[in-house]
Amino acid sequence: MTEHFPSKLGLSQQFSCSYLPEQQEQLLVILDPNCYTPERFEQLLALGFRRSGDQIYRPHCPSCSACQSIRVLAKQFTPSRSQKRKRNKLKHGYHVIVSHDERPEYYPLYEKYITQRHSDGSMYPPNKLQYESFLFCRWMSIVFIELWHRDKLIAVAVTDDMPHSLSAIYTFFDPDYESLSLGSIMILAQIEHATKHDKHYVYLGYQIDSCQKMRYKTQFTPAERLVKDTWKKVDL
């Protein structure tokens, strides 16, 4: 496969968008089994695709093009003053661990996070089957970037690991520690992991400018977003 769309694609039914309720969402889904490898998925990431569970998809909405892939240029990244302040709050009693295996502590933390933070969303109520089918993958190497407060797990960033990039799939954390800006902290941890392992990019998923919940993604620079199939520098 080259840097072009695969020939075998499916198109989902339309359904209500979870980010822009007034819009209808539709997805392109990869059907070619040869695309389901870390190396080929990395090529598809550069074309705006993402992974959910075992499935590779890209928005293909009938009347909306608000979703734009965004990626941080990991090797050039320098934290802002605000990001340094957030990180400095974690100097005492906090530490990051990178695991390649799921821990039993993950699901209770995920369940607490969804229940307390996203009870109005499509992932509520959480259950173990939903958690596994959404986050995990049979053909992809996953790293779990964990944040611990002493002996307590307080955040997990589920991250796809490819030859030249990382892709942030989902982060969940203990709402009791919300004041520490753990969403941003875990992105910083992913960028640090990418830099340590000589990765070029950290893909943060889709950016929707009109969605308040997503605006934090543009605070990690230098970065690029995919606009009409061309990667362009993010302007703050």
pLDDT digits (tens, 9 = 90+) for 224-234: 999 999 999 98
3 state SS of 162: coil
Q: Are residues 57 and 95 in the same domain?
A: no
3 state SS of 138: coil
pTM over 0.85: yes
Per-residue model confidence as pLDDT tens digits over 114-136: 999 998 878 999 999 999 999 99
Q: Are residues 107 and 211 in the same domain?
A: yes
Q: Give the angle 165-126-19 at the CA atoms, nearest 5°.
A: 60
Residue at a domain's end among 54, 69, 84: 69
Q: Which helix (H) or strand (E) holds 106?
A: helix 106-117
Rg (CA), the chain: 17
Residue at a domain's end among 19, 42, 69: 69
Residue 166 dihedral angles phi and psi, to the nearest 5°: -115, 155
| Number of residues assigned to the chain | 236
Domain around 107: 71-233
3 state SS of 20: coil
Which residues have C-beta within 8 Å of that of residue 102, sequence separation ≥ 6?
Answer: 136, 144
Give the integer Cα–Cα distance in Å for 162 and 45: 10
Has residue 2 been placed in a domain?
no
* Per-residue pLDDT band at 62 (split at 50, 70, 90): confident
Contact 25, 148 (CB under 8 A): no
Q: Are residues 38 and 76 in the same domain?
A: no
3 state SS of 232: strand
Q: Are residues 184 and 206 in the same domain?
A: yes
CATH code of 92's domain: 3.40.630.30
Q: Are residues 19 and 111 in the same domain?
A: no
Q: Are residues 50 and 88 in the same domain?
A: no
* Number of domains making up the chain: 2
Residue at a domain's end among 20, 42, 69: 69
Has residue 113 been placed in a domain?
yes
Per-residue model confidence as pLDDT tens digits over 13-55: 998 888 888 899 999 999 999 999 999 999 999 999 999 999 9
pLDDT number for residue 51: 97
